[in-house]
Amino acid sequence: MSGNVRRGFQARRLRGDPRRVARHAVAASILAVASVRTQAPPAADTILVNGHVITVDARFSIAHAIAIAGGRFTAVGDDAAIRKLAGPKTTTIDLRGQTVIPGLADGHLHDAGGGPGVDLSRTRSLADVLAAVGARVKASRPGDIVVTNSDWHEAQLNEHRLPYRRDLDTVSRDNPVVVVRGGHEYILNSAALAKWGITKATPQPSGGRITRDAGGELNGELIDRAKALVQLPPAPPLTIEALVEQHRKLNAAGLTSIRYPGASVEQYRLLQQMEQRGLLTIRVNQLLRFGADNAEAMRAAIAASGLKPDEGDEWLRIGGMKLGVDGGFEGGWMRQPYAEPWGEGGAFSGVNTMKQSAYTDVVKALNRLGWRVATHAVGDAAVDEVLAGYEAANAERSIRGKRWTIEHGFIVDQDQFPRMKALDLVISAQDHLYLAGPSLVNYWGAARAGRTTPMRAYLDRGFVVAGGTDSPVVPYPPMWVMYHFVSRDTISGGVLGPDQKVSRKEALQVETINNAFLTFEERIKGSIEAGKLADLVVLPEDFLTCPEKDLEQMRVAMTMVGGKIVFTAAPAAVRKPLRAQ
Ligand SMILES: [Zn+2]
Protein backbone atom coordinates (compact mmCIF):
# COMPACT_ATOMS: atom_id res chain seq x y z
CA MET A 1 0.00 0.00 0.00
CA SER A 2 1.19 3.47 -0.65
CA GLY A 3 1.72 4.76 2.85
CA ASN A 4 1.66 8.41 2.03
CA VAL A 5 -1.61 8.41 0.15
CA ARG A 6 -3.43 6.45 2.81
CA ARG A 7 -1.87 8.40 5.58
CA GLY A 8 -2.83 11.72 4.12
CA PHE A 9 -6.37 10.48 3.89
CA GLN A 10 -6.32 9.26 7.46
CA ALA A 11 -4.89 12.46 8.75
CA ARG A 12 -7.63 14.51 7.13
CA ARG A 13 -10.33 12.26 8.47
CA LEU A 14 -8.94 12.18 11.93
CA ARG A 15 -8.16 15.80 12.50
CA GLY A 16 -6.03 14.81 15.47
CA ASP A 17 -8.67 12.76 17.21
CA PRO A 18 -7.83 9.05 17.30
CA ARG A 19 -11.18 8.30 18.87
CA ARG A 20 -12.97 8.97 15.63
CA VAL A 21 -11.28 6.04 13.97
CA ALA A 22 -12.07 3.79 16.84
CA ARG A 23 -15.76 4.51 16.41
CA HIS A 24 -15.79 2.87 12.98
CA ALA A 25 -14.06 -0.17 14.35
CA VAL A 26 -16.65 -0.52 17.13
CA ALA A 27 -19.37 -0.71 14.54
CA ALA A 28 -17.35 -3.37 12.76
CA SER A 29 -17.01 -5.39 15.95
CA ILE A 30 -20.72 -5.37 16.64
CA LEU A 31 -21.34 -6.45 13.07
CA ALA A 32 -18.79 -9.23 13.40
CA VAL A 33 -20.56 -10.71 16.41
CA ALA A 34 -23.97 -10.25 14.87
CA SER A 35 -23.02 -11.88 11.60
CA VAL A 36 -21.72 -14.96 13.39
CA ARG A 37 -25.16 -15.90 14.47
CA THR A 38 -26.39 -16.18 10.95
CA GLN A 39 -23.37 -17.02 8.82
CA ALA A 40 -21.06 -19.15 11.01
CA PRO A 41 -17.61 -17.76 10.04
CA PRO A 42 -14.42 -19.83 10.39
CA ALA A 43 -13.73 -20.80 14.00
CA ALA A 44 -11.40 -18.72 16.15
CA ASP A 45 -7.80 -19.79 16.75
CA THR A 46 -8.10 -18.55 20.33
CA ILE A 47 -10.87 -17.21 22.51
CA LEU A 48 -10.42 -15.41 25.82
CA VAL A 49 -13.46 -15.58 28.07
CA ASN A 50 -14.60 -14.59 31.55
CA GLY A 51 -12.55 -11.39 31.60
CA HIS A 52 -12.88 -7.68 32.17
CA VAL A 53 -11.88 -6.26 28.79
CA ILE A 54 -11.10 -2.54 28.66
CA THR A 55 -11.27 -2.12 24.90
CA VAL A 56 -10.11 1.54 24.65
CA ASP A 57 -12.47 1.89 21.71
CA ALA A 58 -14.15 5.22 20.96
CA ARG A 59 -16.73 4.76 23.71
CA PHE A 60 -14.22 3.21 26.08
CA SER A 61 -16.53 0.22 26.27
CA ILE A 62 -16.04 -2.82 28.50
CA ALA A 63 -16.45 -6.35 27.18
CA HIS A 64 -15.95 -9.83 28.65
CA ALA A 65 -14.59 -11.99 25.88
CA ILE A 66 -12.50 -11.84 22.72
CA ALA A 67 -12.05 -14.04 19.65
CA ILE A 68 -8.82 -14.10 17.67
CA ALA A 69 -8.08 -15.62 14.26
CA GLY A 70 -5.17 -15.07 11.91
CA GLY A 71 -3.42 -12.77 14.38
CA ARG A 72 -6.32 -10.32 14.59
CA PHE A 73 -9.27 -9.77 16.85
CA THR A 74 -12.33 -11.14 15.05
CA ALA A 75 -14.96 -10.39 17.67
CA VAL A 76 -15.28 -8.65 21.02
CA GLY A 77 -18.34 -9.16 23.18
CA ASP A 78 -19.93 -11.24 25.92
CA ASP A 79 -18.98 -14.78 26.86
CA ALA A 80 -21.94 -16.46 25.22
CA ALA A 81 -21.43 -14.80 21.83
CA ILE A 82 -17.70 -15.44 21.81
CA ARG A 83 -17.97 -19.07 22.94
CA LYS A 84 -20.08 -19.71 19.88
CA LEU A 85 -17.01 -18.88 17.77
CA ALA A 86 -14.99 -21.76 19.23
CA GLY A 87 -14.46 -24.83 17.09
CA PRO A 88 -12.72 -28.13 17.84
CA LYS A 89 -9.28 -26.59 17.26
CA THR A 90 -9.81 -23.39 19.21
CA THR A 91 -7.65 -22.69 22.28
CA THR A 92 -9.75 -21.31 25.12
CA ILE A 93 -8.18 -19.05 27.73
CA ASP A 94 -10.19 -18.59 30.91
CA LEU A 95 -9.27 -15.15 32.22
CA ARG A 96 -10.90 -15.87 35.61
CA GLY A 97 -12.01 -12.30 35.97
CA GLN A 98 -8.68 -10.70 35.17
CA THR A 99 -8.46 -7.43 33.27
CA VAL A 100 -7.44 -7.18 29.62
CA ILE A 101 -6.11 -3.98 28.08
CA PRO A 102 -4.74 -3.33 24.58
CA GLY A 103 -1.03 -4.04 24.14
CA LEU A 104 1.02 -1.20 25.60
CA ALA A 105 3.38 0.94 23.57
CA ASP A 106 6.45 3.05 24.27
CA GLY A 107 6.86 5.91 21.81
CA HIS A 108 10.41 6.74 22.84
CA LEU A 109 12.55 3.79 23.88
CA HIS A 110 16.23 3.49 22.97
CA ASP A 111 16.87 0.08 24.54
CA ALA A 112 15.95 -1.97 27.57
CA GLY A 113 18.97 -0.90 29.59
CA GLY A 114 21.60 -3.18 31.05
CA GLY A 115 24.85 -3.85 29.24
CA PRO A 116 28.41 -4.86 30.03
CA GLY A 117 29.18 -1.84 32.28
CA VAL A 118 28.80 -1.55 36.05
CA ASP A 119 25.10 -1.99 36.88
CA LEU A 120 23.81 0.94 38.96
CA SER A 121 20.11 0.37 38.28
CA ARG A 122 19.41 -0.97 41.76
CA THR A 123 21.63 1.37 43.77
CA ARG A 124 19.84 3.46 46.40
CA SER A 125 22.72 5.48 47.91
CA LEU A 126 26.08 6.98 46.96
CA ALA A 127 27.70 4.22 49.04
CA ASP A 128 25.98 1.63 46.80
CA VAL A 129 27.29 3.39 43.69
CA LEU A 130 30.83 3.61 45.00
CA ALA A 131 30.75 -0.02 46.17
CA ALA A 132 29.63 -1.19 42.72
CA VAL A 133 32.27 0.89 40.92
CA GLY A 134 34.94 -0.09 43.45
CA ALA A 135 34.22 -3.80 43.02
CA ARG A 136 34.70 -3.50 39.25
CA VAL A 137 37.91 -1.51 39.75
CA LYS A 138 39.28 -4.29 41.97
CA ALA A 139 38.50 -6.86 39.29
CA SER A 140 40.20 -4.77 36.57
CA ARG A 141 43.81 -4.64 35.42
CA PRO A 142 45.90 -1.50 35.88
CA GLY A 143 44.92 1.08 33.30
CA ASP A 144 41.60 -0.58 32.36
CA ILE A 145 38.80 1.94 31.89
CA VAL A 146 35.83 1.24 34.16
CA VAL A 147 32.52 2.30 32.63
CA THR A 148 28.99 2.08 34.09
CA ASN A 149 25.70 1.33 32.37
CA SER A 150 23.52 4.38 31.79
CA ASP A 151 20.17 3.19 33.18
CA TRP A 152 20.11 4.86 36.58
CA HIS A 153 19.54 8.36 37.99
CA GLU A 154 20.77 10.16 41.09
CA ALA A 155 17.18 10.76 42.20
CA GLN A 156 17.04 7.06 43.11
CA LEU A 157 19.85 7.66 45.64
CA ASN A 158 19.11 8.78 49.21
CA GLU A 159 21.43 11.73 48.75
CA HIS A 160 19.70 12.90 45.53
CA ARG A 161 23.01 13.86 43.98
CA LEU A 162 25.56 12.57 41.50
CA PRO A 163 28.78 10.87 42.51
CA TYR A 164 31.42 13.46 41.55
CA ARG A 165 35.12 13.25 40.75
CA ARG A 166 36.23 13.34 44.42
CA ASP A 167 33.76 10.58 45.36
CA LEU A 168 34.99 8.38 42.53
CA ASP A 169 38.62 9.03 43.44
CA THR A 170 38.01 7.31 46.79
CA VAL A 171 37.41 3.99 45.03
CA SER A 172 39.74 4.38 42.05
CA ARG A 173 42.94 6.35 42.19
CA ASP A 174 44.58 4.84 39.10
CA ASN A 175 41.93 3.30 36.88
CA PRO A 176 40.00 5.83 34.80
CA VAL A 177 36.31 5.68 35.78
CA VAL A 178 33.51 6.98 33.55
CA VAL A 179 30.09 6.97 35.17
CA VAL A 180 27.51 7.17 32.39
CA ARG A 181 24.16 8.63 33.42
CA GLY A 182 21.30 8.72 30.94
CA GLY A 183 22.00 9.85 27.41
CA HIS A 184 23.53 13.25 28.08
CA GLU A 185 26.24 13.01 30.67
CA TYR A 186 29.42 11.38 31.98
CA ILE A 187 31.13 11.83 35.34
CA LEU A 188 34.89 11.17 35.40
CA ASN A 189 37.32 10.54 38.23
CA SER A 190 40.69 12.33 38.30
CA ALA A 191 42.47 9.47 36.49
CA ALA A 192 39.95 9.71 33.65
CA LEU A 193 40.25 13.51 33.40
CA ALA A 194 44.03 13.05 33.21
CA LYS A 195 43.78 10.27 30.63
CA TRP A 196 41.87 12.48 28.21
CA GLY A 197 43.78 15.64 29.12
CA ILE A 198 40.75 17.54 30.43
CA THR A 199 41.81 20.42 32.67
CA LYS A 200 40.52 23.79 33.83
CA ALA A 201 42.19 25.22 30.73
CA THR A 202 40.11 23.04 28.34
CA PRO A 203 37.74 25.37 26.46
CA GLN A 204 33.98 24.78 26.85
CA PRO A 205 32.94 22.87 23.73
CA SER A 206 30.09 24.30 21.68
CA GLY A 207 26.85 22.49 22.53
CA GLY A 208 28.33 21.00 25.68
CA ARG A 209 29.82 21.89 29.02
CA ILE A 210 32.52 20.91 31.47
CA THR A 211 31.06 21.49 34.92
CA ARG A 212 32.81 22.94 37.98
CA ASP A 213 32.08 22.79 41.66
CA ALA A 214 31.41 25.81 43.89
CA GLY A 215 35.17 26.26 44.38
CA GLY A 216 35.77 26.48 40.65
CA GLU A 217 37.40 23.03 40.36
CA LEU A 218 36.37 20.47 37.75
CA ASN A 219 33.85 18.11 39.36
CA GLY A 220 34.25 15.50 36.64
CA GLU A 221 30.91 16.14 34.94
CA LEU A 222 30.80 16.36 31.13
CA ILE A 223 27.49 17.30 29.49
CA ASP A 224 26.30 16.70 25.93
CA ARG A 225 28.94 17.55 23.33
CA ALA A 226 31.64 17.70 26.03
CA LYS A 227 31.28 13.91 26.13
CA ALA A 228 33.17 13.87 22.82
CA LEU A 229 36.35 14.66 24.79
CA VAL A 230 36.20 11.06 26.02
CA GLN A 231 36.65 7.95 23.89
CA LEU A 232 34.99 5.00 25.61
CA PRO A 233 35.91 1.45 24.67
CA PRO A 234 33.57 0.45 21.85
CA ALA A 235 30.32 -1.17 22.98
CA PRO A 236 29.89 -4.78 21.90
CA PRO A 237 28.15 -4.81 18.50
CA LEU A 238 24.38 -5.10 18.61
CA THR A 239 23.28 -8.63 17.74
CA ILE A 240 20.00 -10.33 16.94
CA GLU A 241 20.38 -12.39 20.11
CA ALA A 242 20.69 -9.23 22.21
CA LEU A 243 17.64 -7.68 20.55
CA VAL A 244 15.59 -10.86 21.07
CA GLU A 245 16.51 -10.84 24.76
CA GLN A 246 15.61 -7.14 25.12
CA HIS A 247 12.27 -7.59 23.39
CA ARG A 248 11.43 -10.47 25.74
CA LYS A 249 12.02 -8.18 28.73
CA LEU A 250 9.77 -5.54 27.18
CA ASN A 251 7.04 -8.13 26.50
CA ALA A 252 7.17 -9.16 30.16
CA ALA A 253 6.38 -5.56 31.12
CA GLY A 254 3.35 -5.50 28.79
CA LEU A 255 4.90 -3.79 25.79
CA THR A 256 3.76 -4.91 22.34
CA SER A 257 4.92 -1.89 20.30
CA ILE A 258 7.94 0.38 20.58
CA ARG A 259 9.33 3.30 18.66
CA TYR A 260 13.10 3.60 18.58
CA PRO A 261 13.72 7.36 18.71
CA GLY A 262 16.77 7.51 16.50
CA ALA A 263 18.83 4.45 15.70
CA SER A 264 21.19 3.31 12.97
CA VAL A 265 20.60 1.78 9.57
CA GLU A 266 22.52 -1.27 10.84
CA GLN A 267 20.00 -1.74 13.63
CA TYR A 268 17.13 -1.49 11.14
CA ARG A 269 18.78 -4.17 8.98
CA LEU A 270 19.07 -6.49 12.00
CA LEU A 271 15.40 -5.93 12.77
CA GLN A 272 14.53 -6.75 9.15
CA GLN A 273 16.41 -10.04 9.48
CA MET A 274 14.54 -10.75 12.70
CA GLU A 275 11.23 -10.17 10.98
CA GLN A 276 12.20 -12.48 8.12
CA ARG A 277 13.18 -15.19 10.60
CA GLY A 278 10.02 -14.75 12.67
CA LEU A 279 11.97 -13.52 15.70
CA LEU A 280 10.15 -10.24 16.34
CA THR A 281 7.91 -10.40 19.40
CA ILE A 282 7.26 -6.67 19.46
CA ARG A 283 6.20 -4.23 16.74
CA VAL A 284 8.88 -1.69 15.94
CA ASN A 285 8.75 1.78 14.48
CA GLN A 286 12.22 3.22 14.02
CA LEU A 287 13.27 6.81 13.60
CA LEU A 288 16.64 7.26 11.94
CA ARG A 289 19.38 9.40 13.40
CA PHE A 290 22.25 10.41 11.17
CA GLY A 291 23.89 13.20 13.17
CA ALA A 292 24.07 15.31 9.99
CA ASP A 293 24.68 18.97 10.82
CA ASN A 294 23.66 20.45 7.46
CA ALA A 295 21.21 19.79 4.65
CA GLU A 296 23.82 18.44 2.26
CA ALA A 297 25.15 15.93 4.80
CA MET A 298 21.58 14.84 5.55
CA ARG A 299 20.77 14.31 1.87
CA ALA A 300 23.97 12.29 1.43
CA ALA A 301 23.26 10.14 4.50
CA ILE A 302 19.72 9.40 3.31
CA ALA A 303 20.94 8.50 -0.18
CA ALA A 304 23.62 6.20 1.26
CA SER A 305 21.07 4.45 3.49
CA GLY A 306 18.79 3.55 0.59
CA LEU A 307 15.83 3.86 2.99
CA LYS A 308 12.48 5.44 2.14
CA PRO A 309 10.13 7.37 4.43
CA ASP A 310 7.54 5.04 6.01
CA GLU A 311 8.84 1.88 4.38
CA GLY A 312 7.95 -1.34 6.19
CA ASP A 313 4.89 -3.15 7.48
CA GLU A 314 2.90 -3.80 10.67
CA TRP A 315 5.93 -5.43 12.34
CA LEU A 316 8.70 -3.04 11.37
CA ARG A 317 8.49 0.40 9.85
CA ILE A 318 10.64 3.47 9.37
CA GLY A 319 8.91 6.33 11.15
CA GLY A 320 10.88 9.45 10.27
CA MET A 321 14.02 11.35 11.11
CA LYS A 322 15.21 12.21 14.62
CA LEU A 323 16.90 15.53 15.32
CA GLY A 324 17.82 17.20 18.60
CA VAL A 325 18.38 20.80 19.63
CA ASP A 326 19.16 20.73 23.36
CA GLY A 327 20.38 18.71 26.32
CA GLY A 328 18.50 16.53 28.80
CA PHE A 329 17.77 16.97 32.51
CA GLU A 330 20.99 18.86 33.08
CA GLY A 331 21.13 20.72 29.78
CA GLY A 332 17.57 21.41 28.60
CA TRP A 333 17.72 24.84 26.93
CA MET A 334 15.52 27.33 28.77
CA ARG A 335 14.25 30.86 28.23
CA GLN A 336 15.01 31.54 31.92
CA PRO A 337 18.30 30.60 33.65
CA TYR A 338 18.55 27.53 35.85
CA ALA A 339 18.08 27.81 39.62
CA GLU A 340 21.27 25.74 40.01
CA PRO A 341 24.18 28.08 39.19
CA TRP A 342 26.55 25.29 37.90
CA GLY A 343 29.45 27.55 38.80
CA GLU A 344 28.29 30.08 36.20
CA GLY A 345 26.88 32.68 38.56
CA GLY A 346 23.27 32.10 37.64
CA ALA A 347 23.84 32.58 33.91
CA PHE A 348 23.41 28.96 32.81
CA SER A 349 20.23 28.35 30.83
CA GLY A 350 21.02 25.00 29.22
CA VAL A 351 22.73 23.69 26.13
CA ASN A 352 21.78 24.38 22.51
CA THR A 353 23.16 21.36 20.61
CA MET A 354 22.19 22.45 17.07
CA LYS A 355 22.03 26.09 16.02
CA GLN A 356 18.87 27.52 14.50
CA SER A 357 20.19 28.12 10.97
CA ALA A 358 21.63 24.62 10.57
CA TYR A 359 18.56 23.06 12.16
CA THR A 360 16.12 24.95 9.94
CA ASP A 361 18.13 24.02 6.83
CA VAL A 362 18.03 20.33 7.70
CA VAL A 363 14.32 20.42 8.58
CA LYS A 364 13.42 22.12 5.30
CA ALA A 365 15.51 19.62 3.33
CA LEU A 366 13.79 16.70 5.07
CA ASN A 367 10.35 18.15 4.38
CA ARG A 368 11.17 18.54 0.68
CA LEU A 369 12.28 14.91 0.60
CA GLY A 370 9.03 13.76 2.24
CA TRP A 371 10.51 12.82 5.60
CA ARG A 372 8.63 13.33 8.86
CA VAL A 373 10.69 15.04 11.56
CA ALA A 374 10.80 14.22 15.29
CA THR A 375 12.88 16.64 17.34
CA HIS A 376 14.21 16.25 20.86
CA ALA A 377 13.37 19.48 22.72
CA VAL A 378 13.37 19.65 26.53
CA GLY A 379 13.38 23.36 27.42
CA ASP A 380 11.14 26.18 26.19
CA ALA A 381 14.00 27.86 24.32
CA ALA A 382 14.55 24.57 22.49
CA VAL A 383 10.83 24.45 21.68
CA ASP A 384 11.17 27.97 20.22
CA GLU A 385 13.91 26.73 17.90
CA VAL A 386 11.87 23.69 16.83
CA LEU A 387 8.80 25.84 16.14
CA ALA A 388 10.82 28.29 14.05
CA GLY A 389 12.28 25.39 12.05
CA TYR A 390 8.96 23.60 11.57
CA GLU A 391 7.19 26.88 10.64
CA ALA A 392 9.82 27.59 7.98
CA ALA A 393 9.35 24.11 6.51
CA ASN A 394 5.56 24.42 6.73
CA ALA A 395 5.67 27.68 4.78
CA GLU A 396 7.22 25.80 1.84
CA ARG A 397 5.12 22.67 2.05
CA SER A 398 2.47 22.00 4.70
CA ILE A 399 3.38 19.63 7.50
CA ARG A 400 -0.16 19.62 8.91
CA GLY A 401 -1.56 16.10 9.22
CA LYS A 402 1.91 14.63 8.88
CA ARG A 403 2.23 14.16 12.63
CA TRP A 404 5.60 15.78 13.12
CA THR A 405 6.55 15.62 16.77
CA ILE A 406 8.22 17.26 19.66
CA GLU A 407 10.04 14.56 21.61
CA HIS A 408 9.86 15.23 25.38
CA GLY A 409 8.51 18.82 25.45
CA PHE A 410 9.25 19.18 29.17
CA ILE A 411 8.80 22.93 29.52
CA VAL A 412 6.35 24.65 27.18
CA ASP A 413 5.01 28.17 27.64
CA GLN A 414 1.51 29.49 27.02
CA ASP A 415 2.49 31.37 23.88
CA GLN A 416 3.91 28.19 22.33
CA PHE A 417 0.78 26.04 22.48
CA PRO A 418 -1.08 27.87 19.67
CA ARG A 419 1.96 27.69 17.41
CA MET A 420 2.28 23.95 18.08
CA LYS A 421 -1.43 23.54 17.38
CA ALA A 422 -1.17 25.46 14.11
CA LEU A 423 1.41 22.91 12.93
CA ASP A 424 -0.78 20.00 14.07
CA LEU A 425 2.09 18.54 16.11
CA VAL A 426 1.90 15.31 18.07
CA ILE A 427 3.59 15.19 21.48
CA SER A 428 5.85 12.29 22.43
CA ALA A 429 5.99 12.55 26.26
CA GLN A 430 7.67 10.39 28.90
CA ASP A 431 7.80 9.89 32.65
CA HIS A 432 11.20 11.48 33.31
CA LEU A 433 9.72 13.46 36.18
CA TYR A 434 8.86 10.22 38.00
CA LEU A 435 12.54 9.35 38.25
CA ALA A 436 14.26 12.73 38.18
CA GLY A 437 11.78 14.95 40.07
CA PRO A 438 14.06 15.93 42.98
CA SER A 439 16.95 16.79 40.61
CA LEU A 440 14.71 18.88 38.39
CA VAL A 441 13.59 20.87 41.45
CA ASN A 442 17.27 21.57 42.16
CA TYR A 443 18.05 22.48 38.55
CA TRP A 444 15.02 24.55 37.64
CA GLY A 445 13.27 25.48 40.89
CA ALA A 446 10.10 23.90 42.26
CA ALA A 447 7.61 25.86 40.14
CA ARG A 448 9.24 25.03 36.81
CA ALA A 449 9.90 21.41 37.83
CA GLY A 450 6.21 21.10 38.74
CA ARG A 451 5.13 21.95 35.21
CA THR A 452 7.52 19.49 33.58
CA THR A 453 5.74 17.38 30.96
CA PRO A 454 2.39 19.19 31.27
CA MET A 455 0.10 16.31 30.32
CA ARG A 456 -3.10 18.00 31.47
CA ALA A 457 -2.29 21.13 29.48
CA TYR A 458 -1.49 19.12 26.34
CA LEU A 459 -4.64 17.01 26.51
CA ASP A 460 -6.90 19.95 27.37
CA ARG A 461 -5.64 21.77 24.29
CA GLY A 462 -6.50 18.80 22.11
CA PHE A 463 -3.01 17.48 21.41
CA VAL A 464 -2.55 13.79 20.84
CA VAL A 465 0.07 12.74 23.39
CA ALA A 466 1.86 9.42 22.98
CA GLY A 467 3.54 8.11 26.13
CA GLY A 468 6.81 6.34 26.78
CA THR A 469 9.89 6.25 28.98
CA ASP A 470 13.07 7.18 27.09
CA SER A 471 14.49 3.88 28.43
CA PRO A 472 17.26 3.38 29.48
CA VAL A 473 17.21 7.01 30.74
CA VAL A 474 14.09 6.03 32.68
CA PRO A 475 13.37 2.30 33.22
CA TYR A 476 10.97 0.83 30.65
CA PRO A 477 7.97 -0.43 32.69
CA PRO A 478 4.89 1.19 31.16
CA MET A 479 2.97 0.79 34.41
CA TRP A 480 5.32 3.38 35.93
CA VAL A 481 4.39 5.78 33.15
CA MET A 482 0.68 5.43 33.73
CA TYR A 483 1.06 5.55 37.52
CA HIS A 484 3.08 8.76 37.25
CA PHE A 485 0.75 10.42 34.76
CA VAL A 486 -2.33 9.77 36.94
CA SER A 487 -0.66 10.61 40.27
CA ARG A 488 2.25 12.94 39.36
CA ASP A 489 4.02 11.03 42.14
CA THR A 490 7.79 10.67 41.88
CA ILE A 491 10.07 7.86 42.97
CA SER A 492 11.55 9.77 45.91
CA GLY A 493 10.26 13.34 45.93
CA GLY A 494 6.48 13.13 46.39
CA VAL A 495 3.87 14.63 44.06
CA LEU A 496 5.04 17.35 41.64
CA GLY A 497 2.59 19.45 39.63
CA PRO A 498 -0.70 17.85 40.77
CA ASP A 499 -2.62 20.16 38.41
CA GLN A 500 -1.16 18.13 35.52
CA LYS A 501 -2.71 14.79 36.58
CA VAL A 502 -4.68 12.87 33.95
CA SER A 503 -7.40 10.27 34.40
CA ARG A 504 -6.70 6.54 34.21
CA LYS A 505 -8.71 6.42 31.01
CA GLU A 506 -6.51 9.13 29.50
CA ALA A 507 -3.33 7.43 30.72
CA LEU A 508 -4.41 4.20 29.04
CA GLN A 509 -5.17 6.03 25.78
CA VAL A 510 -1.76 7.73 25.96
CA GLU A 511 -0.06 4.32 26.23
CA THR A 512 -2.15 2.57 23.56
CA ILE A 513 -4.27 4.24 20.87
CA ASN A 514 -2.37 7.54 20.96
CA ASN A 515 0.89 5.71 20.31
CA ALA A 516 -0.79 3.96 17.38
CA PHE A 517 -1.79 7.41 16.12
CA LEU A 518 1.81 8.63 16.48
CA THR A 519 2.90 6.01 13.92
CA PHE A 520 -0.19 6.28 11.64
CA GLU A 521 -1.42 2.87 12.80
CA GLU A 522 -4.58 3.74 14.76
CA ARG A 523 -6.65 1.77 12.28
CA ILE A 524 -4.78 -1.46 12.90
CA LYS A 525 -3.83 -1.39 16.57
CA GLY A 526 -4.09 0.48 19.87
CA SER A 527 -7.51 -0.85 20.94
CA ILE A 528 -9.30 -4.16 21.23
CA GLU A 529 -11.71 -4.12 18.30
CA ALA A 530 -12.61 -6.60 15.59
CA GLY A 531 -10.23 -6.33 12.67
CA LYS A 532 -7.30 -4.96 14.63
CA LEU A 533 -4.04 -6.77 15.38
CA ALA A 534 -4.47 -9.06 18.38
CA ASP A 535 -2.03 -7.34 20.75
CA LEU A 536 -3.16 -7.39 24.39
CA VAL A 537 -2.08 -7.50 28.00
CA VAL A 538 -3.71 -9.34 30.91
CA LEU A 539 -3.46 -7.63 34.32
CA PRO A 540 -4.29 -9.21 37.69
CA GLU A 541 -6.22 -6.16 38.93
CA ASP A 542 -8.77 -3.79 37.42
CA PHE A 543 -6.73 -0.95 35.98
CA LEU A 544 -9.64 1.47 36.30
CA THR A 545 -10.63 0.85 39.94
CA CYS A 546 -7.69 -0.65 41.87
CA PRO A 547 -5.98 1.49 44.56
CA GLU A 548 -3.84 4.09 42.78
CA LYS A 549 -0.59 2.91 44.36
CA ASP A 550 -1.18 -0.61 42.97
CA LEU A 551 -0.70 0.73 39.44
CA GLU A 552 2.96 1.44 40.16
CA GLN A 553 4.04 -2.13 40.87
CA MET A 554 1.34 -4.09 39.05
CA ARG A 555 2.82 -7.13 37.34
CA VAL A 556 1.67 -8.23 33.95
CA ALA A 557 0.04 -11.69 33.88
CA MET A 558 0.22 -12.28 30.14
CA THR A 559 1.18 -10.47 26.95
CA MET A 560 -0.01 -11.40 23.48
CA VAL A 561 1.27 -10.02 20.18
CA GLY A 562 -0.52 -10.88 16.95
CA GLY A 563 -2.57 -13.51 18.78
CA LYS A 564 0.51 -15.32 20.11
CA ILE A 565 1.44 -15.46 23.80
CA VAL A 566 4.87 -13.80 24.12
CA PHE A 567 4.92 -13.64 27.90
CA THR A 568 3.08 -15.37 30.72
CA ALA A 569 3.85 -14.86 34.40
CA ALA A 570 2.48 -18.17 35.54
CA PRO A 571 0.98 -21.17 33.79
CA ALA A 572 -2.06 -19.56 32.21
CA ALA A 573 -5.45 -21.16 32.42
CA VAL A 574 -5.11 -22.28 28.84
CA ARG A 575 -7.19 -25.14 27.60
CA LYS A 576 -5.51 -26.58 24.53
CA PRO A 577 -7.72 -28.11 21.90
CA LEU A 578 -7.73 -31.88 21.81
CA ARG A 579 -5.65 -33.03 18.90
CA ALA A 580 -5.88 -36.32 17.12
CA GLN A 581 -2.15 -37.08 17.15
ZN1 LIG B 1 15.69 9.82 24.19
Which class for 454: exposed (0-12), middle (13-18), buried (19 or more C-beta within 10 A)? buried
Ligand 1 centroid from CA 223, angstroms: 15
pLDDT the model gives residue 493: 84
Q: What end-to-end distance do the CA atoms of the chain give, in Å?
A: 41
> What are the two backbone dihedrals, phi and then psi, of residue 320, each rounded to the nearest 5 degrees?
140, -165
Q: Cα dist. 2→65, 309, 311 in Å?
A: 35, 11, 9
Span 384-424, pLDDT tens digits? 999 999 999 999 999 999 999 999 999 999 999 999 999 99
Ligand 1 centroid from CA 277, angstroms: 29
Positions of the chain with pLDDT lower than 70, given as ranges: 1-41, 343, 571-581
Distance of CA 111 to the CA centre of its chain: 9
Which class for 39: exposed (0-12), middle (13-18), buried (19 or more C-beta within 10 A)? exposed
Positive or negative torsion for Cα 482, 536, 269, 475:
positive
Ligand 1 centroid from CA 32, angstroms: 41
pLDDT the model gives residue 41: 59
- In a 3-state reduction of DSSP, which class is residue 167? helix
Ligand 1 centroid from CA 286, angstroms: 13
Whether the Cβ atoms of residue 496 and residue 487 lie closer than 8 Å to each other: no
For residue 118, the surrounding DSSP H or E stretch is: none
Q: Left if phi > 0, otherwise alpha if psi is -120 to 50, otherwise beta: which for 39?
A: alpha
Ligand 1 centroid from CA 332, angstroms: 13
Ligand 1 centroid from CA 497, angstroms: 22
pLDDT the model gives residue 96: 96
Ligand 1 centroid from CA 283, angstroms: 19
Ligand 1 centroid from CA 430, angstroms: 9
Cα separation of 177 and 191, whole Å? Answer: 7
Ligand 1 centroid from CA 489, angstroms: 21
Ligand 1 centroid from CA 428, angstroms: 10
Ligand 1 centroid from CA 200, angstroms: 30
Angle between helices 3-14 and 18-39 (to 10 degrees): 100
- In a 3-state reduction of DSSP, which class is residue 511? helix
Contacts of 560 (CB under 8 A, 6+ apart): 103, 256, 534, 535, 536, 537, 538, 566
pLDDT the model gives residue 10: 34
Ligand 1 centroid from CA 27, angstroms: 38
pLDDT the model gives residue 162: 94
What's the CA dihedral at 9, 10, 12, 14 to 10 degrees? 160
Distance of CA 507 to the CA centre of its chain: 14
Ligand 1 centroid from CA 406, angstroms: 11
pLDDT the model gives residue 575: 57
Contacts of 547 (CB under 8 A, 6+ apart): none
Whether the Cβ atoms of residue 109 and residue 254 lie closer than 8 Å to each other: no
Cα separation of 52 and 393, whole Å? Answer: 47
* Beta strands, E only, 325-425: 373-377, 405-408
Give the pTM: 0.85
Ligand 1 centroid from CA 549, angstroms: 27
Ligand 1 centroid from CA 253, angstroms: 19
Count other C-beta atoms under 10 Å from residue 542's C-beta.
Answer: 15
